[in-house]
Structure 1
């Protein structure tokens, strides 16, 4: 099959063997694959492996322990090896495309953001109706989904940050009541003003780094800060006194160290809460641009340069 692999020369189109599904897996004919920032780490590995972790397509083979999937089912998936004509994933990690009219390109951009943000906001952030939410890095695909999930689940005030003025201006389209520039020295004070000096009960932080000291100041007493990304760097100042005084729960999350069973549980919880909204197409993401599979290197370059708003899609 044709696939995009990571090589010493960058992303290259190559002929590789098609993957074979294990008893718990489904084999999917990929119709579209979505780019994610984690793919840049796969590219940097230069290890000859197929890049990508999110796709949509049609089941062509289902293992006996894959959970009731059958050939012909339309499916959106997370896993590994997405930039290819065929990919496999655990059946419990995949989601049915609920609307027969939803194009594969649009389906391919949804599921990772849904899984990641529901897990961050609900499971670890313990979001409750009427609470206030801050999404750091809200102009990313995952961030835009977070704004919508928070609004859907009844958050009182939804606040998003972005350093890009044009993208920041669009956050209201996806549910933000207030959009802030974290490059401004007083941005955290504006969060406190917007919440009556209380702070937010849930922060989903995709930035961390040097701004983390200010992010801690936005948390309410008993609030939760979920570390979902480190675009601003892996290190920063941590105020242990403030952490104790505000009784902040600080939680780190990643898919990389989760077992198959943990991801199955995560996915099932997300579908239980959001399945109806997904089926009614109330949760959406914009497609920034489309590239054929063979031009994946150009698509990755666009993402690396941070030129996109929404998701970049590879079409097959």
Structure 2
């Protein structure tokens, strides 16, 4: 439902932004029916968690941003003409990016950089496997791994038609994870050892196979669970391979923790964003009044990249 609400106002350490584009995320589907995502959500909540726009007002103690600055962020209330967010958790938008391209980036940037580097312990020269590589998160994860110097980037999908697209976004190897031999192929391209880091956007039945595909002493970072939240895990294999299994989310992080994640991602990837080496394709754009149509398209899951609203 589209409704008229008062224009929000920034408090100390916040900025008010005129939203020019807002990207959809899968969590918006649950929030659209009254569900919650961390502290966001519930009946009457303005939807949307990712946007880009112009700063129109700054709160007290905000020094970095000025009125007119182009910014993008993972922040609440994105499906609106104006949004307020913490000034410390905002990326600058390079001149080369249009609003829709910018709105598609923040969630993937901060999530996948943090998962790979801070949670996954990745260093240049290591190998990376991304489960669910044709999702927006997966696409940007491939590019981040490549940008930071991965020796081999492997991506998976459950659609044979999408295998070729994974390679287009920079993966060295693209696999269909519904095929039983996919782990054998991972071992083949890593000289029989397995990958150093797995970024898992799927979970479900892939959980034990991920253990087989990860080297002894490697790391698996679980980010998403679209394949299932509860599974039977081979704990003996987990123990034998001495794998560190890490869970990650932003729902239980403080503003200060999120700000640190944003700053680290910006420092590592700012130049790559400005030159287009790290980006997410925009599958389609919709006017704000067609938000319901956009959410239906998200539910159908036939798009590649991001769906974006233009308020």
Match among 117, 121, 126 for residue 126 of structure 1: 121
1:60-109 deviation per Cα after TM superposition (whole angstroms, max 9, x unaligned): 011123342111101011111100000111011111112x2421111110
Alpha-carbon contact 1:54-1:109 (below 8 Å) kept: yes
CA contact (8 A) 2:211 2:241 kept: no
Residue of structure 2 in register with 1:205 after alignment: 200
Structure 1 CA distance for aligned equivalents of residues 79 and 101 of structure 2 = 16
Per-residue deviation, 1:166: 2.3
In structure 2, how many angstroms separate the alpha carbons of the residues matched to 1:308 and 1:144?
13
Q: 1:306 aligns with which of 301, 306, 309?
A: 301
Q: How does 1:108-127 map to 2 (within 5 A)?
A: 108-127=103-122
Structure-1 residue corresponding to 2:3 = 14
> How many Å separate the matches in 1 of 2:73 and 2:63?
14
Instruction: Specify the alignment match of 2:17 in structure 1.
Output: 28
Work out the CA distance in 1 between the residues paired with 2:73 and 2:164. 31
Shift of 1:111: 1.4
Aligned with residue 175 of structure 1, among 157, 170, 173: 170
Provide the TM-score with structure 2 as the length reference: 0.95
- Which whole-Å deviations, capped at 9, do the CAs of 1:155-196 have from their partners, x for residues lacking one? 111000111222221111111111111111221221111211
Provide the residue aligned with 1:76 in structure 2.
Answer: 72
Provide the C-alpha distance between the structure 2 equivalents of 1:89 and 1:66, rounded to a whole number of angstroms.
12
What RMSD over aligned residues (CA atoms) do the two structures have, in Å?
1.1
Contact 1:18 1:86 in 2 (8 A): yes
> Which residue of the partner structure matches residue 85 of structure 1?
81
Report deviation, 1:135.
0.3
Separation in 1, partners of 2:304, 2:62: 35
Q: Match for residue 39 of structure 2?
A: none
* Structure 2: gaps (5+ residues): 35-41
The match for 1:292 is: 287
Report 1 or 2 for greater relative contact order, CA contacts < 8 Å, sequence distance ≥ 6: 2
SS at match of 2:3: strand
Matches within 5 A, 1:149-228: 149-228=144-223
Q: Which runs of 5+ in 1 are unaligned?
A: 1-11
1:66 corresponding residue in structure 2: 62
Q: Is the 8 A contact 2:154 2:173 kept in 1?
A: yes
Q: How many residues align?
A: 304
Q: Normalised by the size of structure 1, how large is the TM-score?
A: 0.94
CA contact (8 A) 1:167 1:309 kept: no
